[in-house]
A and B are shown apart, each in its own frame.
Chain A
Amino acid sequence: MIEFLSRRLAAALVTLALATVVVFAVVEVLPGDPALIMLGTDARPDTLAAIRAQYGFDQPLLTRYLQWIGGLLTFDLGNSHAYGTSVGKLIGDRLQVTLPLGALALSWALLVAIPLGVFAAWKHGGPGDWGVMGLTQIGISIPNFWFGIVLVLLFAVTWQFFPAGGFPGWRQDTLGSVYALILPALSLSLGEIAILTRVTRSAMLDTLREDYIRTARAKGVPERTVLFEHALRNALIPVMTVTGLIAGFLIAGAVIIESVFRLPGVGQLVYDSINNRDLIVIKNVVILFTILVLAVNLLVDLAYALLDPRPRISA
């Protein structure tokens, strides 16, 4: 198990290293002169020179790259061009909104999807199964940001149960902050619920065909125990894999959902940084998202190793 996990960790680090090269190339090499991107083509030559000196754009490429990597390793990400404050602090503050939002959406998705998937597999071929599958088809097809807007229409405009957007801040109003995240988390989880329900259903259908399930049923084990203890334990392995895959998309989906609900999270920071042409923030946020995606996938691998006693050498 240790060997399996260390292999996966090594692979993730290689991916991360490659990702830094790609992001660096796209943000700092592809545009030619990053200072020109940040200030616009009508900028005066002396301000351009000042920006180049401030961010080290006048240094050789390799030096710039190594300086950035060194900064990443020591959590010194430099200063934002638009905000004038430390990028590390900027991202840290915004994560206090995005991480709870993602966690809330993912827990909610699992909480809904697993029982729904088990139910559909149990009723395989019947109207219950058809109904659940039809709902997942619709769930995959609805854009989550539109679902968010519809939730605002219903629960903030028509019946004023929830705020239409904004975020009071954890320290100022903890309960209000939780409240402000409920509609966004619901919208963010829509597609994930649909996908996880389908995966749970098909994994359950595969396990329910196994001999040991037939044996358990023949021995008279109650159906609920067969479904939730014997079958679900094995069906959870593919569910975990897909959860890892979609966690990344959940983080990216947050960019749009935060825009719908005007939440001051990392997604909103990315959006503002595009408009401000703040390349320093963009490159660091993209790497941060990549680290999050890789970290979630490593956690999934760990869960894998715990759920499945057979150590997986190559996956």
Chain B
Amino acid sequence: MSAFLARARRHVGFQIGAVLLALFVGTALVSLVWTPHAVDDLQMRAKLLPSSAKYLLGTDHLGRDVLSRIMVGAQTSIAVGLIAVALGMSAGVMLGAWAAARGGWVDEALSRTSDLIFAFPAVLIAILITSVLGASAQNAILAIAIFNVPVFARVTRGAALSMWGRDFVRAATAMGQGPLGITLRHVLPNIASVLIVQATIQFAVAILAEAGLSYLGLGAQPPVPSWGRMLRDAQTYVFQAPELAVWPGLAIATAVLGLNMLGDGLRDLLDPRLRLLRVG
């Protein structure tokens, strides 16, 4: 651990990523207890105001404080991204580890299924789901989670397969341990770093996806503040208040950049030979 920290101290990208992520998570945490103004405080007389001492980033078309909404919007991004990735990761890791342990038709069937899901771009999965089930944060989470399953299944399968060929796993097999025991005791702990790195990157991808969906109106519904939705509203007023379209985008880019840099940094620090799956 101390060796890891020593190397982390020399990795600039990792540090920038960690600072940006801390800013992102910190904003969400602070917004739980404090925002400069109430998020849903409608002040129709104070709408589309430019930045001022009272409203640091100005106000939106309903006179709500933009800074407060961006702070609370961080909560939405984290909640949707984290739950979606956690769900997709749990299912994907289980399926991938199963495919690697069983091989044969299980492996073949799972690989073909993940090819099939890859043939559908994530936005289309989301569109299909929301067109049938309705637009909501839950359905956006479901759509992003479904897209994450094959990503984690593939990464887990590949990494687990290489573990199954290693001597210590063969020794465990020879000693009569079952596939489930070996997977839990030997395979998963040894591929944890790959999964952590992939999860960081997928969190970034999920935040982008959530922003895109809520921009289309398919994500979190009003009055819940979400960065994508703020951009959609801002676009209507692009001639009156152009800066409204700047802040939410900067927030998304900062959060995603932080996670991407942290993920790349973690990969360098944990296992430089690792190749990430990067699709979004």
Contact = CB atoms under 8 A, between A and B. Distances in A.
Contacts of B216: 255-256, 259, 271
Contacts of A140: 256, 260, 278
A22 B249 contact: no
B119 interface: yes
A248 to B, nearest CB: 5
A14 B238 CA distance: 47
Given A149-B249, A245-B279, A256-B123, A137 B132 contact: no
Nearest to A279: B131
A201 interface: no
Interface string A102-141: 0000000000000000000000000000000000011011
Interface in B127-141: 127-133, 135
A289 B115 CA distance: 15
A19 B116 contact: yes
B132 A252 contact: no
Given A141-B253, A141-B257, A290-B119, A152 B238 contact: yes
A195 interface: yes
B26 interface: no
A149 B230 CA distance: 12
Given A37-B132, A274-B135, A286-B127, 16 more contacts: A26-B128, A27-B128, A140-B278, A142-B249, A143-B252, A143-B253, A145-B212, A146-B253, A149-B245, A150-B249, A153-B238, A164-B238, A248-B119, A289-B121, A290-B120, A293-B120
A14 B116 CA distance: 9
Given A137-B260, A143-B211, A149-B235, A30 B249 contact: no
A81 interface: no
B103 interface: no
Contacts of B242: 153, 157-158
Contacts of A15: 112, 115-116, 119
9 contacts: A15-B112, A137-B261, A141-B208, A141-B260, A146-B245, A157-B238, A158-B242, A282-B127, A286-B127
